[in-house]
Chains A and B, each alone.
Chain A
Amino acid sequence: MTEDRTPPTAAAYGMTPREAGERAAAVLAEVRTAVVGKPRPLGMVMLGILAGGHVLIEDLPGLGKTLLARSFATALGLDFRRIQFTPDLLPSDVTGAPFYDQRTADMVFRPGPVFTHLLLADEINRTPPKTQASLLEAMAESQVSIDGSTRPLPDPFVVIATANPIEYEGTYSLPEAQLDRFLLRVRMGYLTPEQETGMLRARVARAAPEAVLRTLGNPGELMAMRAAVEQVEVDDDLLAYVVALVGATRAHQHIQVGASPRGGLALVQLARARAVLDLRDYVTPEDVKDVAVAALAHRVTLKPELWVRQIDADDVVAEIVRSVAAPQTLPRSPVAS
């Protein structure tokens, strides 16, 4: 069932982590020309793409979420589709459906928008759970099963979903099990007044609604960058640190349900991607600490009473990161050169 999948061309590029990091930095720099003043969210989305996961961008409307996704698709040279999720959207509108071809008198499968490299699932919480589930299954398995046949999705397949965190009429917030499918959650946040002025100035200066970005890569290159992430080594003490962080979410007084083992996997992959972006081929505690909130906060369920106290999962995970002991200076087992 996977024989017709596009073979990864990563080997053809044979990238080292440093080279992958340099490419990723170039892509980020290109995206920054379109998305002004958001270095941190941009970097986190880049980490998610490098680590081979899907990204959930959660913030208010009008903060540049769609622009961000489209800019990444352009700069990375990926095929880009967008689904605007609405309450009446059907699963077949996402995955595609077979239809009857009168000329051949046969059922022909018409692929849905999910058959792309980079899919922007805009306002994913506006559609009912059934349609959400069809997308989330595609995200988890990288394949779509329709009418008994399984169709693999292109490689790479990245979903950047946006969600509005404010409860509006007619929204269906994602359940925890589905949130778990996202490698990380990013918040955009508002620009500073200076950045906002700069953004307006740039808009006036270019006399066009959006900046035109250069394409700096292609799907094969992205696969090579992902393969380079797999070369990044992780020390045993750091793995223990990751386990301690994930374990701490399960024992924390404010958390009802802690992070899943998938959270630990996500944390390790994101830390490796961050090491690549920092032109290293080994993970350090800084990498783990830096991505911990983005990787774990959406995977924990806070106790209901905290809603009243306006405590956010981000705050709780950040507190956990501050309290869990990082690896000691001296290694537990003697190291040899």
Chain B
Amino acid sequence: MSAQDATAGRGGPAAQAADTPPAGAAPPGAYPPGPGDGRSRPAGAAAAAGAALATLAVAGTALAGVLLRPSRGLFADSAGPAGNTAVVILVSLGCLAAGLAISARYRRSLGYDQNLPAVEQRLADAVRFTLIGAALLVPLMLLLMHRFPGGSGTPPEQSRRVPPSRIPVDPPPVHDRPPQAPSHGWSFHVPHALGYLLLAALVLAVLLAAYHLWRQLRRGPVPRTAGTYGQAPGDHDLLADAVDSGRRALLDGDDPRAAVIACYAAMEDSLARSGVARRASDSPQDLLERAAGSGLLDGPHATDLTALFREARYSTHPMDTAHRDRAAAALDAIAAQLAEHAARVAAARAEQPAPAAGGPSPAGGDR
């Protein structure tokens, strides 16, 4: 349903996530580090898509850089690392293998039985097809754009003769040799227009990948919060669990002090599951203010429970059942408030079926 769902869906192939990633594959952040650790999970399929696109773009650009030999002009006919046929064949094979491996891994990691939101589904489809296409096209283009010395119709002596004459007298040889000159044999020359198109496509891919990455980085914390609310039906259960744990503590122990502290801990737990987690440096008042600021809690109950907790936790005042009852009543009221809030959020989400992934989060205060 959301980015986090997609991430959870990839929990299935979590075992494969432990595999050694192929060389040049997407960055480690694109794969789930392991199940159960919600915080360290990636932003989801979109992040994986972004990483894959970025990888593709970078690899493509690098290949283009090697191939085009900018020091010699766009279609100069020799030199550069790619001038060696063996290197070109090796690079092509490597590209084919790496591309297929990345593509297969991406498909496995995405888990297509999942129902992604429309935007992410389209994005994932685009990445899938691009990866397959790139795995085949990049090696093919490498081979096509390479001038094989043996099979070429260009007389070897000509190509050997050209460099010495070109170095001292630069302009005349250029005029002597038009770019499309060798047209016999099976030597295939890509027209300039196609080369520029390829360049443009590469630039576009780089731009797209950069834009995508920028978006992913900018809205980093949002998907996590959205994911929290994305599980709206489960929220009630989680809240209920937290409140139940507080109630159990109330019923089990005979110690009112421990019971009051447990009630407060239950409230803290409920707030955390509603999107306002306590930070390590937070005092009870800080947490209360943040919860109130995010619209989760208002009214006297939370304040009352916090005051009771402070007294129970930091004083040696005798605590009795009256304190425990007040804490229990406050916890019930708070649980009702949180459940009501979760229901409101769920209703709001139902009214807006496919919110933009970068849209505002209901718990925007929890940053």
Question: Which B positions have Cβ atoms within 8 angstroms of A?
Answer: 255-258, 261, 264-265, 268, 278, 280-286, 309-320
Contacts and interface: CB of A to CB of B under 8 A. Distances in A.
Given A282-B310, A282-B314, A330-B261, 8 more contacts: A282-B311, A283-B314, A284-B283, A284-B310, A324-B281, A325-B281, A335-B255, A337-B255
Nearest to B317: A282
A138 B312 CA distance: 41
A281 B315 contact: yes
A238 B314 CA distance: 8
Q: A-B pairs with the 9 shortest C-beta distances?
A: A282-B315, A285-B283, A325-B280, A337-B257, A235-B314, A286-B285, A286-B283, A284-B310, A337-B319
Contact of A329 (B264, B281, B311): B264
Contacts of B313: 235, 327, 329, 331, 335
A336 interface: yes
A230 to B, nearest CB: 16
A284 B285 CA distance: 10
A326 B282 contact: yes
A322 interface: yes
Interface string A248-285: 00000000000000000000000000000000111111
Given A282-B317, A284-B314, A329 B278 contact: yes
Interface string A277-302: 00011111110010000000000000
Interface size class of A (residues with CB under 8 A): 20 to 34
A188 to B, nearest CB: 25
A184 to B, nearest CB: 19
A170 to B, nearest CB: 43
Given A282-B315, A330-B261, A331-B313, A337 B256 contact: yes
A137 interface: no
Nearest to B319: A337
18 contacts: A282-B316, A284-B283, A284-B314, A285-B283, A285-B284, A321-B281, A323-B281, A327-B313, A329-B265, A329-B278, A329-B313, A334-B258, A335-B258, A335-B312, A335-B313, A337-B255, A337-B256, A337-B257
Given A235-B313, A281-B315, A331 B281 contact: no
B257 A335 contact: yes
A312 interface: no
B317 A335 contact: no
Given A235-B314, A283-B314, A322 B281 contact: yes
A233 interface: yes
Contacts of A283: 314
A284 B280 CA distance: 15
A282 B313 CA distance: 10
A268 to B, nearest CB: 13
A324 B286 CA distance: 14
B278 A289 contact: no
A233 B319 CA distance: 16
Contacts of A326: 280-283
Interface string A298-331: 0000000000000000000000011111110111
A280 B308 CA distance: 12
A331 B255 CA distance: 14
Contacts of B312: 335
A233 B315 contact: yes
A321 B268 CA distance: 21
B214 to A, nearest CB: 29
Interface string A10-42: 000000000000000000000000000000000
A172 to B, nearest CB: 38
Nearest to A289: B283
Nearest to A283: B314
A331 B314 CA distance: 9
A129 B268 CA distance: 53
Contacts of B317: 282
A336 B264 contact: no
A285 to B, nearest CB: 4
A289 B282 CA distance: 10
A282 B309 CA distance: 12
Nearest to B254: A337
A329 B280 contact: no
A68 B261 CA distance: 42
Contacts of A233: 315-316
Contacts of A289: 283, 286
Contacts of B261: 329-331, 335
Contacts of B318: 337
A280 B314 CA distance: 11
Interface string A40-56: 00000000000000000
Nearest to B316: A233
A324 B280 CA distance: 7
A327 B281 CA distance: 8
